[in-house]
Structure 1
Amino acid sequence: MKNTILLFLLFFGFSGQAQKAEVQKTIETFFEGFHAKDTVKIKSTCSEKLILQSISESPKGNKFSEEKPKEFLLSMANIPAEVQFEEKILSYNIQVDGTMAHAWTPYEFYINGKFSHKGVNAFTLYIDNGQWKIIHLIDTRRK
């Protein structure tokens, strides 16, 4: 009986870790596409019903905004080649419950090597035909 319980705990413990690794890989693939301005790669990680939202924080007040996925992808495709940017993910805190996952990822954002802003991303994902897809992304932005 003890061996059965131990095997059960090991299987589900490793299964949970594997799911978290898959969620993290989806987010990493999203950022690979983001940094390369590769809209096809970005789109491959997202649901067709993706919701994109941001909260910009400043001494003058906070601003909440929403962007349509089509607008986001178009803006990515139109960034000039000489503009380089990097969103450095500082850590991943991933929680999984069956077919839904949430990832909290603090970040720092750089444009042409210069610090621009920092904040946190909050990703919600679900499993669609065996693949994790991003269905909601909201971030905070502060100088």
Structure 2
Amino acid sequence: MRIYIIISFLFLSISSNAQKQEVQKCIESFFEGFHQRDSVKIKLVCSDKLILQSISESSTKGNKLSDETAKEFYKSIATIPSNLKFQERILSYNIQIDGTMAHVWTPYEFYINDKLSHTGVNAFTLFKEKDFWKIIYVIDTRRK
């Protein structure tokens, strides 16, 4: 009996790890497309009903919540000047999964032309659609 419990626990642990790797790969693909200025690649891992929001934090101007449509987001990615160097460095992944929903918390540093521009956290919500994870919601914080 004890061996069955151990085997069951190992199977659940392996399955959970595989799910987390799939979710992380989805987020990594999102950022690959972002850094390549490739909105088509980003769309592959995003839902058609993608929701985007940002929270700008400022001690002088106050905090501001802003919304961006998916169409505006994809256009902004595709029109980033080719001479602008930028990188969003993901510092870690905290992935939580319940069935067909996943939540990913990713602290980051954002660099423009190798200079730190701002820091914050991304929070992604994903939905498992058929056999693929899709990003349905992104909110991030931004602070100088």
TM-score if structure 2 supplies the norm length? Answer: 0.97
Quote the offset at 1:126 in angstroms. 1.0
CA distance in 2 between partners of 1:44 and 1:114 (Å)? 30
Aligned amino acid, residue 71 of structure 2: K
* Secondary structure of residue in 2 paired with 1:29: helix
Q: Deviations over 1:34-92 (max 9, x none)?
A: 00001111000100001000000001200100000011000111111101210000000
Moved over 6 A (4+): none
- Structure 2: which 5+ runs fail to align? none
Residue matched to 1:94: 95
Aligned amino acid, residue 96 of structure 1: I
Residue matched to 2:77: 76
Aligned amino acid, residue 88 of structure 2: E
Residue matched to 1:8: 8
CA distance in 2 between partners of 1:117 and 1:37 (Å)? 19
Aligned amino acid, residue 17 of structure 2: Q
Residue matched to 1:48: 48
CA distance in 2 between partners of 1:133 and 1:9 (Å)? 28
CA distance in 2 between partners of 1:50 and 1:2 (Å)? 46
Q: Deviations over 1:112-131 (max 9, x none)?
A: 11110000000000101200
Identity among equivalent positions (%) equals 66
* Secondary structure of residue in 2 paired with 1:17: helix
Q: Deviations over 1:3-26 (max 9, x none)?
A: 111111111111001101111010
Aligned amino acid, residue 63 of structure 1: K
Aligned amino acid, residue 35 of structure 1: H
CA distance in 2 between partners of 1:99 and 1:66 (Å)? 25
* Secondary structure of residue in 1 paired with 2:81: coil
When the two chains are superposed, the root-mean-square deviation of aligned CA atoms in Å is 0.6
Q: Deviations over 1:84-105 (max 9, x none)?
A: 2100000000011111110000
CA distance in 1 between partners of 2:85 and 2:48 (Å)? 27
Residue matched to 2:66: 65
CA distance in 2 between partners of 1:79 and 1:92 (Å)? 26
| Structure-to-structure mapping, 1:105-120, within 5 angstroms | 105-120=106-121
TM-score if structure 1 supplies the norm length? Answer: 0.98
* Secondary structure of residue in 1 paired with 2:58: coil
Count of matched residue positions in the alignment of Structure 1 and Structure 2: 143
CA distance in 2 between partners of 1:101 and 1:49 (Å)? 16
